[in-house]
Amino acid sequence: MPRATYIVIAVLSRYMYNLSADRILHRRLSKVHTRHGSPHRASIVAIVLVVVGLVPFVLIDSDPHQVYTVLVGVYAYTFVALLYIMCIAVPVYLHKHREAGVTLWKRLIAPALALIGLGVALLLSTQNFGLLIGGSQTMANAMFALVYGLFVVGADRGGGVTEHFGDHLHRDPGTQRLAEVCRW
């Protein structure tokens, strides 16, 4: 479980860094360490969020394996949902921005097939969400509310980004150091 927590912190800090660089989260999170080139501010916030999120489970003496099962189940469900949304977004983007060399297969057929497969996976995951997270129906409902609530907040928060910056998100050149160090 501790290794999984470290991985969550590392991934979360990178996401927070990128969302900050794209001006969706507060700009201060996109500042990188002058010496190490790491997203230290986003890492500190990620650590605080993970600790605050885990403290209630520690205080009620929850089984760590059950907590991990719930978190992995929610992550897996959310990941499939995000991939499903991407399968809609890719053809829409490619239709608006006709680029040379993008075949019909890449532009429409492959995303449509992925949409069907992921749609089935999402439907089955939704129907069996309680089993996926290893919890009760009450817990499943609470996790659904959390997942879809965060989708709504994210859509609301990020909805104006393209209107404000155009189709290409603007990044401050100073925030690119991490990408250069990590060779992203």
| CA pair distance 108, 87, nearest whole angstrom | 9
- In tens, the pLDDT along 77-127 reads 999 998 998 888 888 888 888 888 888 898 889 999 999 999 999 999 999
Contacts by 32-39, CB closer than 8 A, 24 or more apart: 32/175, 32/177, 32/178, 37/177, 37/178, 37/180, 37/181, 38/178, 38/181, 39/13, 39/14, 39/178
Q: 163-180 pLDDT, tens per residue?
A: 555 545 555 544 444 444
pTM above 0.75, yes or no: no
Average pLDDT along the chain: 81
167 — alpha (psi -120 to 50), left (phi > 0) or beta?
alpha
Residue 160 has pLDDT above 80, yes or no: no
Q: What is the pLDDT of residue 46?
A: 92
Q: How far apart are CA 125 and CA 81, in angstroms?
A: 10
Task: Give per-residue pLDDT as tens, 11-32.
Answer: 889 888 988 887 778 889 988 8
> What average pLDDT score do residues 144-170 get?
70
Say how many residues make up the chain: 184
pLDDT level of residue 182 (50, 70, 90 thresholds): very low
Q: What is the reported pLDDT for 162? A: 54
Report CA 85 to chain centroid distance, whole Å. Answer: 12
Domain borders along the chain are 1-62+160-184, 63-135
Return the pLDDT at 126: 92
User: Per residue in 44-70, pLDDT tens?
Assistant: 999 999 888 888 888 888 888 888 888
